[in-house]
Amino acid sequence: MAVKLRLMRMGKKKQPTYRVVAADSRSPRDGRFIEVLGFYNPRSEPSVIEIDNEKAVGWLKNGARPTERVQKLLTVSGAWSEFTGEAAPAPFVADTAPAAAEAAPAAADDGAEDAAEASADAGEEE
């Protein structure tokens, strides 16, 4: 029996929430499942992801294959890095404006120096 870790749609019309489940790959999307591993609510701001990492890693070690979306959710929750043995990815931090402002004048100075050298070289050739 091929086991997949996948999403099972729940909730009202136009208001989906999802359960992360371990299910037989032949069963329908919202049909029979083996075990519930957690849930995912994409509509809240920020989206809510709650997954039992121990259960997920246990299923992955026993050969269960996650779908693409579930693999991304496992990466966010940290279960995927536990399974692969890699370090968890660092959270995204936006660049600060002062650092970008400091780099801009240095680039402008380099351009001015290059232009001055080019004009000096052109004068020597004549």
User: Which domain CATH number covers 37?
Assistant: 3.30.1320.10
Do 49 and 99 fall within a single domain?
Answer: no
Percent of the chain with pLDDT over 90: 33
Is there a domain that residue 123 lies in? yes
- The rounded distance, in Å, linking the Cα atoms of 58 and 30 is 22
**pLDDT surpasses 90 at 13:** yes
- Tokens read off for 19: 């359960």
Name the least confident of 14-18, 24-28, 63-67, 104-108: 104-108
Q: Does 89 fall in a domain?
A: no
For residues 7 and 18, the answer to whether their CB atoms sit within 8 Å is: yes
Mean pLDDT of 54-78: 91
In order, the DSSP letters of 87-111 are PPPPPP-PPPHHHHHHHHHHHHHHH
Same domain, 105 and 75: no
Q: Are residues 75 and 100 in the same domain?
A: no
Whether 109 maps to a domain, the answer reads: yes
Residues 19 and 79 in one domain: yes
Q: How many domains does the chain have?
A: 2
- Residue 125 has φ and ψ, to the nearest 5°, of -70, -30
Enclosing domain of residue 102 = 94-126
Q: Rounded to an integer, what distance in angstroms lies between the CA atom of residue 5 and that of residue 1?
A: 13
Q: Classify residue 52: in a domain, yes or no.
A: yes
- Name which of 3, 5, 2 is nearest 72 in CA terms: 5
The reply to whether 57 and 113 lie within a common domain is no
pLDDT one-digit tens code per residue, 72-82:
999 998 888 88
Residues 80 and 101 in one domain: no
